[in-house]
Amino acid sequence: MRELDSEGTIGIISDDVDEPYTRPALSKKLWTDPDFTLDQVPLDTANDTGADIVLETTVTAIRTAEREVETHRAGGDDDTFTYDTLLIATGGRPVPLPIDGAADSDRVLTFRTFEDYRHLRALSATGARIAVVGGGYIGSELAAALVQQGNATTLIHTGEVLGGDIFSADLARHFASLFEGAGVDLVSGRVVAGVAGEAGVRLDLEGGAIIETDAVVSGLGIAVASDVAEAAGIHVDDGIVVDERLRTSAERVFAAGDVASYPDRILGRRRVEHVDNAEQMGRQAGRNLAGADEPYAHTPYYYSAVFGTRYEAVGTLDSSLETVEDWAEPFERGVVYYLDDGEVVGVLLWNIEDQTDAARTVIDDGSGVTRETLIGRIPTV
C-alpha cells in the first residue's frame, strides 16, 4: 500500500497477541539455525508503514453496505471500525486433535502462532518426550526441529510411509529414513483415539497401542477461516473466492493469503497455504487496495526443509499421479515431474536451487510431454 499511497491510514485488526511476524521461522530456523534469534521474528510492520495494529481482537461481523467491521477485544469491549477498502487475510485456524479432552491440558497444543512456539519451546526445554500428530508439512518440520533439540520425538501419522501421499514410493522411504536416522520414532498408519494425563500425556491409539509422553502437538494443518466473510454474504467456496485482482464478491473488499481462492494463471483456481503466496499476494492486494487495479499473476512455489534437505515445488504433488524422476544422484539432487493425462501439473525440486521459474515454464508449456523430453529439461547439476 505504501508503494502507492504514502498518506492513507492503515489499520490491522488481529486476534494474535503479537504484532506481525515471520511465521515460517516458527517451525524451521528458530529451532535449527543458531544465528536466527527471537529478535528477527517480528516484521516491524508498524514502524515500516505507520499502520495502527489492534491486537487480541476478533472480528465478529463485516457490514459491507455500511463499510463497517465489528470487533470484540479479549476481556474487553466491542468496537466498530469503518473502512474505505477492506482486506480479509484471516488465514486459518490450526486443527486440534479431534478427540474429547484434548483442549483441557496445557500439554496438548496446536501450532500456528508465535505464542504456540514459545509454549512448545518451554515444554521441550529439558529434553522432554514430545509426540507430534500429523505427517504433513508442519508435522514433519516440527518433528525434525524437536529431535534436533535433543527431545525424544515420536511422529504419529496415518500413512503407510511418511511422505507417501506426495512422494513416489522410493522417495517416501528415503524421506522417512531421514527421520529414523535422526532418532525420530515413526508410528505409521495410526490414529490417535484418546488423550489422558496430568503431569504428562498418555496417547491411546486405535488398535490398542499406548504412547507415554510429556507433551503432544497437533500438526494436522488448518481449517480456513472464512466464516465471518461467509456470514457477511461474501462468496465462499473452499476459501473466499476472489477474481484475478483479488476482489471478493463484495464491493471494495479484497482477500489474500491462505484464505483466498484465486484463479492461478497457470494452474487454475486454487487456494495456497504457503509463504511465497502470502508474500506475493499480500503485496498485490496492498497495491490494489491503494488503487493499482492490477492482476495477481504469480504462481507460487512452496518449500520445506528438514535435516539439511530442502525441497521446493510448484503445482500439485500427489503420489497417485504418474511421475518422471530425473536424479543427478538418487535422492540427493533431482527433479520429479507429476503428470495428469500427459500434462505436467507439478514439479518437485529436491535440493535444486533457483529453478522455480523453470518449473513454472514446464507446467505452462502444456501437454504432449514424454519421459524423453522431460529428462534434463530442468538442470539437476
Model pLDDT, residue 196 = 84
Question: Residue 195 in contact with residue 102, Cβ under 8 Å?
Answer: yes
| Beta pairing partners, 241 | 261
Long-range pairs for 94-97: beta carbons < 8 A, 24 or more residues apart: 94/218, 94/220, 94/221, 94/222, 95/218, 95/220, 95/221, 95/222, 95/223, 96/218, 96/220, 97/133, 97/192, 97/195, 97/216, 97/218, 97/220
CATH 3.50.50.60 intervals, the chain: 11-91+225-289, 95-218
Question: What count of residues does the chain have?
Answer: 381
Question: Residue 70 in contact with residue 59, Cβ under 8 Å?
Answer: yes
| CA–CA gap between residue 2 and residue 243 (Å, rounded) | 23
Fold of 95-218: FAD/NAD(P)-binding domain (3.50.50)
| Grid coordinates given for 50 | 505507520
Q: At what angle do helices 169-182 and 137-148 cross, to 10 degrees?
A: 30
The secondary structure of residue 196, as a DSSP letter, is E
Model pLDDT, residue 86 = 98
Model pLDDT, residue 99 = 85
| CA–CA gap between residue 30 and residue 35 (Å, rounded) | 9
May I ask the CATH class of domain 308-374? alpha beta
DSSP symbols for 69-105: EEEEETTS-EEEEE-SSEEE---EEEPPPSSTTGGG-
Model pLDDT, residue 366 = 78
| Grid coordinates given for 84 | 474505505
Closest among 315, 318, 322, 360 to 341, alpha carbons compared: 322
Model pLDDT, residue 25 = 96
Determine the CATH number of domain 11-91+225-289. Answer: 3.50.50.60
Closest among 238, 300, 224, 289 to 265, alpha carbons compared: 300
> pLDDT tens, position by position, for the chain (381 residues)?
999 999 999 999 999 999 999 999 999 999 999 999 999 999 999 999 999 999 999 999 999 999 999 999 988 899 999 999 999 999 999 999 988 877 778 899 999 999 999 999 999 988 899 999 999 999 999 999 999 999 999 999 999 999 999 999 999 999 999 999 999 999 999 999 998 877 789 999 999 999 999 999 999 999 999 999 999 999 999 999 999 999 999 999 999 999 999 999 999 999 999 999 999 999 999 999 999 999 999 999 999 999 999 999 999 999 999 999 999 999 999 999 999 999 999 999 999 999 999 999 999 997 789 999 999 999 998
* Helix, strand, coil percent content, the chain, rounded in steps of 5: 25, 30, 45
CATH 3.30.390.30 intervals, the chain: 308-374
Question: Residue 30 in contact with residue 22, Cβ under 8 Å?
Answer: no
